[in-house]
Structure 1
Amino acid sequence: MSNSSPAPRAAPRLPPLADLLDDAHVVQLPLRTRFRGLDAREALVVEGPNGWTEFSPFVEYGPAEASAWLAATIDFGWGVEHTTRASSVAVNATLPTVAPGEVRTVLDRYPGCRTVKVKVADPGETLRDDVARVAAAREYIGDSGRVRIDANGAWTVAQAEEALVALAPYALEYVEQPCATVPELAELRRRTAGLGVPVAADESVRKAADPLAVARAGAADLLVIKAQPLGGITAALDIFVAAGLPVVVSSALDTSVGLSMGAHLAAAMPELRHDCGLGTAALLAADVTRAPLLPVDGAIEVRRVDVDVDLLRRHAASDDRREFWLERLRASYAVLAG
């Protein structure tokens, strides 16, 4: 870890709650393939002085956790705009838990991408299923491409060790959040050091009371940084500086508005060694813009997104779902204000 703490940066002043509520649009966007148990992604988008911004914590998150996502919404829409160092960022393809025969169809939606992130350890799936999916991804991307896997913390240490022994022959770039806790990640790193598979921490950063604990414990080789769950670009950059580890900038199945936030974070980084997990607009069957941030030649543009009002209307959530999201925004705002 860095020996010096980053200079604290002031959080953006909260805009009036009415400014957020009155201009909020709640959408429900269908997915091309079931992902994380979802067939559609709900999100709230709103326009601030800087442009369009997004609030889309997963529905199971309570106000305390969702308030970080609202802080990111405000940071991107109302806060300081950070200097970007690039006009585009390289992204990975994301492969849900599909059958091997469907792998090519999914990955063809990511033209030019040289990295594939494969979802593993899904409920109802076996290690044999995961090996077959990873093998199909490796065959698709070729020897020169990169394959990373993401278990979302679903394995025990013993299960993760068994899985990595089976999957290491496919030349994994890294395994993302193989186990749920920081001590488990540290133990797994010790037990699998000879396999040459680095460990990346995601949930142990974005869902932790102390996002630097995993780096302090030496439990990961790199960190997965997501703008929304960490409170915005400003907060995520501070974590990057303090952790002193390589990072992968990723997203949480956002609309193109949220992906724009992630792209601006990635482009503000002084160095990126790994392709970003920001190509997930390819998983959406609809979006909020006529110019979505889809991968082209393996990258997405770093730009603000112009939201299309007709698309907002077409994909507007039902009245009860809209009220659900507005109430979440109110509750999260109260946490920030308190």
Structure 2
Amino acid sequence: MLPDLAELLSDAHVVALPMRVRFRGITTREALVLRGPAGWTEFSPFVEYDDAEAAAWLRGTVDFGWTEHAPASDSVPVNATVPAIAPDDVPALLERYPGCTTAKVKVAEPGTTIDDDVARVAAVRRAMGPSAAVRVDANGLWDVEHAVEALERLAPFDLQYAEQPCRTVPELAELRVRIDGLGVRIAADESVRKASDPLAVARAGAADVLVVKAQPLGGITAAREVIAAAGLPCVVSSALDTSVGLGMGAFLAAAAMSPGYAAGLGTAAMFAGDVTTDPLLPVEGRIDVRRVQVDAALLERHAASPERTAWWLERVSRVHALLAAAE
């Protein structure tokens, strides 16, 4: 049940959190956190997303804030996230993820080369050792030919999987055929969370693993339905959330993620500030499954500018109207 707009925004706050390193092209992450009957929740679709795409995120916001979800475990394993940094900077960055034995490495960053990607992945493998699980994430920025070339060069580093190496489902399906025998599995992220049909990639045989994010799929309840219907191993990841949104992901990961994988929910380590004094940071390679309590002083410290706050509140109003019209 969608709450009315006044109830939704009765205790809402827009924050701008500084990041330790540039990621996804941004150095400050904006988000709206609000309190519902079940606890704090988050609305944080990326600013370039239109209202129609943001509607699923608002459904996720409501699902977490207005529904009691029981934790299926106390904690979940998480991966370290390595942005497109220089190889020499990798060891220091990994220190922010104590105990993590899985790393996701960003590749195909605009302005970089495959040589840069190989050097970065090599540095991660050296730092973490042969037993660690190493993933790469291209965010759909390679075409099939470049993906084949890159994965042939990266395969010797024993990749757990390559996440969204190409943009479209047909490209992913073609790539799977082209690299058959290489030993690199294909994971789909954007082809799940940005698709009108999140199961199309599974039906097309275009991926070996699905990467699932709670907010973009409409919340924990809806995401669990996607996972159950997919018939593929699933990894729960974040969308660069605050610790409030990471809590949502942790509940989902504990309930529905495939065993043997680490969730991509350790990203609070990428922020220089958060909305809680007890953020969901990795400890011994895991984060807790819990709702965080938001701190008023931190909301004030990281409050977005009046102009950006107005932009977010207007956005919520428009997206809420879309959901209300659909009910």
**Smaller-chain TM-score bracket:** over 0.9
Aligned counterparts of 2:204 and 2:321: Cα–Cα separation in 1: 33
State whether structure 2 residue 55 is matched by structure 1 residue 54.
Answer: no
Give the SS at the match of 2:215. coil
SS at 1:265 equivalent: helix
**Secondary structure in 1 matching 2:216:** coil
Q: Which amino acid in 2 is paired with 1:190? A: V
Report the Cα offset of residue 274 of structure 1: 0.8
For this pair of structures, how many residues does the alignment match? 325
- The Cα of 1:20 is off from its aligned counterpart by 1.8
State the distance in 1 between where 2:189 and 2:197 align.
13
SS in 2 for 1:205: helix
| 1:60-99 paired onto structure 2 within 5 Å | 60-79=48-67, 81-99=68-86
* Structure 1 letter corresponding to 2:111: G
Paired with 1:284 and 1:116, the residues of 2 have a C-alpha distance of 17
**Which string of whole-angstrom CA distances, capped at 9 and with x for unpartnered residues, describes residues 269-291 of structure 1?**
17433100000000000000000
Q: Which amino acid is 2:4 matched to?
A: P
Alignment gaps of 5+ in structure 1:
1-12
Change in Cα spacing, 1:334 to 1:316, as seen in structure 2 (3 Å) is same
Contact residue 94 and residue 279 of structure 1 kept, 8 A: yes
- Once the two structures are TM-superposed, the CA of residue 46 in structure 1 deviates from its matched residue by 0.2
One-letter code of the match for 1:23?
D
Q: What is the 5 A alignment of 1:194-205? A: 194-205=181-192
TM-score by length of 1: 0.95
Shift of 1:233: 0.2
What letter matches 1:16 in structure 2? D
- Aligned counterparts of 1:332 and 1:273: Cα–Cα separation in 2: 37
Are positions 1:176 and 2:167 aligned together? no
* Residue 234 of structure 2, aligned match among 239, 247, 252: 247
User: Deviation above 3 Å: which 4+ runs of structure 1?
Assistant: none
What is the root-mean-square deviation in Å for CA atoms of aligned residues?
0.8
Which residue number corresponds to residue 321 of structure 2? Answer: 334
Q: Which residue of 2 aligns with 1:4?
A: none
* Counterparts of 2:70 and 2:203, CA distance in 1: 29
Q: Contact (CA 8 Å) 1:227, 1:236: kept in 2 or not?
A: yes
List alignment gaps of at least 5 residues for structure 2: none
1:112 is the counterpart of 2:99? yes
What code does the residue aligned with 2:56 have? A
Q: Distance in 2 between matches of 1:145 and 1:264?
A: 25
Residue 334 of structure 1 deviates from its aligned partner by: 1.1
**2:224 alignment partner, one of 193, 215, 237:** 237
Q: Which amino acid aligns with 1:262?
A: G
Shift of residue 259, structure 1, vs aligned partner:
0.1
Residues 1:138 and 2:125 aligned together: yes
Q: Indicate if the aligned counterparts of 1:93 and 1:117 stay in contact, CA closer than 8 A.
A: yes
Displacement, 1:22? 2.9
